[in-house]
Structure 1
Amino acid sequence: MDKSQKRWLFISLGISFVVLFVMLILTIDTTTLIELEKCNPWIILLAFGMHIISLGFWALRIKLMCRSLGYKVPFIHSFNLVCSNMFLASVTPSQIGGEPVRVYELTKVHVPGGEATAVVIMERVFDAIVLAGGTVIGVFLLGMFFADLNFPEAYMIVAYIGAGVFAGLLILFLIIAKNHAWSNRVVNKLLHLLGRKKSPDVIQEYQRKIDMHMEKFYATLRHFTGKSKTGMFYGLVFSALYWINEFVIASVLMVGLGLPPNYILSFIFMILITVIMMIPLTPGGVGIAEVSMAGFYALIIPTSLIGVFVLLWRLIMYYFNIVIGFIASMIIVRRESKTQKDEPVNL
């Protein structure tokens, strides 16, 4: 882990600790311990298990999308890269830090860089489709059946902004996918702009490599939309399974705390909270996630249990990700170290 990653990790953990501490101080009262007597630890452990299953859905998505392109990615390798991805995603704004890890790890099992990049981008596209669709449905259901609830207006505004960001990214992707020549021109202009201090030979070599990867990227997109439509099918199905399973975890935690699950409203809350967390304001969405969770669920959960509920949710969705992500990253570091030792030394 480099200094930048350590700094982001400490910042994100610090923000999360402070917000959770303040939240617990403000919500715990004399009735909290009485309410916690209804807690079922086995159901809370089930919520942890469901999160692991979600990571399995993600790993299967990558494995099957790669298989549709003709590349065999072992499930264990796919699962480990997903877990390693979760570590960087937990300490970077908008959870974007994990993409390079996924691309790199796919290249380690002989998936070319262009194809690996296309798979990772298509993952984001499928996530955006599921979340954008879910946001539209969620807002519609709120207006139709839950209009009497007093929602914080600021949260709804941010959720609309997040939905707009998703829609914008989808439009941008469609523009890029349809305009190969235009995309090449934009990338090359950016390359020359960012590499003004580099020598012409270095710029030319970078341009050659970028053009090669762009060509493979577009070839892969054509493959996904042509002969490899099964890859798109698997991508959408497992994206939906991943997010549905993740969203149900909050309801399972409510049951574990002895509360009615309120599945539909909780599901809508989780869609809106996820969209809000995707806006790149803090590393890993810390602070924003806790406050959004408390703001929405305070409408259906007693105040005395809000702090405990948010703490349990963040233990599963954030702190657990950091732990398993760190372990997975150490597995990769150990593998890379062993590979370097095994390489012959040229004298």
Structure 2
Amino acid sequence: MTYTNVNNPITIDESVTSWYTQTISRQARSLIPDDFEKLPTFETVKFSHRKSFGPIVDTHWPQEASEMVLILGTFDAPHLNFKPLVYVYVHGSKTHYIGYFYVNPDSSICRVQQSSLQHVDIDEPFCDVGDLSVGKQTLCNRVRAMALYYFLAAGYIDEVGDYNHFWLDFKQSCAWIANKGSRPKPHARVQKQEPDTVLASAATSVPGPELTDLTHDTVASKKRTGDDEPKPTAEHPIITISAEARLANSERANAQPRAEIDTQARAVGQLRAQMTVNHQLLAKVNGLTAEISRVKNESMFSQNAYRGIQVQHDELAELHANTLNNENALRDQLGQIQARCAQAERRSKVLEKEVEGLKQRMRRAGEALNISAF
């Protein structure tokens, strides 16, 4: 933000599409040097490499996730019987998105949604970027900006792209962190002193710097002229005429600076009117930028939710297919068993007939034995 003339009002440079460590440091030292000076260095935050979690976690690493992760805090949810560390990772083709996860005791990865960040005991300095009065989405945006800055400062990513409101989130985060997590006092606007001086001159008819010099020269000229003139007495009426002439000359000399003062006063009024309009436009732009960010985040969350539902659908579809396959297999087994039962029933009937024939033969043989005995 810079102060220029009426034809070039105050603007914010939104042309920066990619942010680098040098870009952020240079702009911060120029615009927010005090707040940036109080920002903790990247050595004070804790990074970990994905290899440190073991081979199981490494094989289930999120797609496009950074190899280095940043500790955000401790997950303290009522439905968990343990308190794991929550990590931040960077993803996206231009490393401008972040995600959250923790590791379960079985070494599986559990993603943490933004809505669950309320259960995270966040470490410094991320816990100082704001409070609930600024809104949950604003807090998430500031945590995102600070996390990306520390990844940049530590050298684990090279740039942050397609993040148009990065500077706004980063600047506000620095102000809150510098004030130790309390709402910072608004900075007094630095204005040039020349317009204020001219405006006061126009309102009170007090000579400005140029007019003051001219009046001083006029008074000095009068003093020098008075040294050569006769001292005032009743015998010298010419002194009265000379005083009137000097007064007329003084009025004519003062007329031009007063016109310049009026012109400058009008220019100052136009400048302030233009600045007011510009501030209103900037407020609208910031509001639209925040709204766009909110819509983008909601769209991203919807896409993540859709992907989660799609994964669940695929799992259920696979389970259904397996169930159908098992059902068909069971039907085949049932058919085979029924066929074997029918075959066994037929054999049983054949055996029953054979048993009945054997019984008849035994009776006839017994009768024959009895007859031969007589």
Greater length-normalized contact order (CA 8 Å, ≥ 6 residues apart) = 1
Q: Which has the higher strand share?
A: 2
Greater fraction helix: 1
TM-score clears 0.5? no
Q: Could you state the TM-score of these two structures normalised by the residue count of structure 2?
A: 0.27
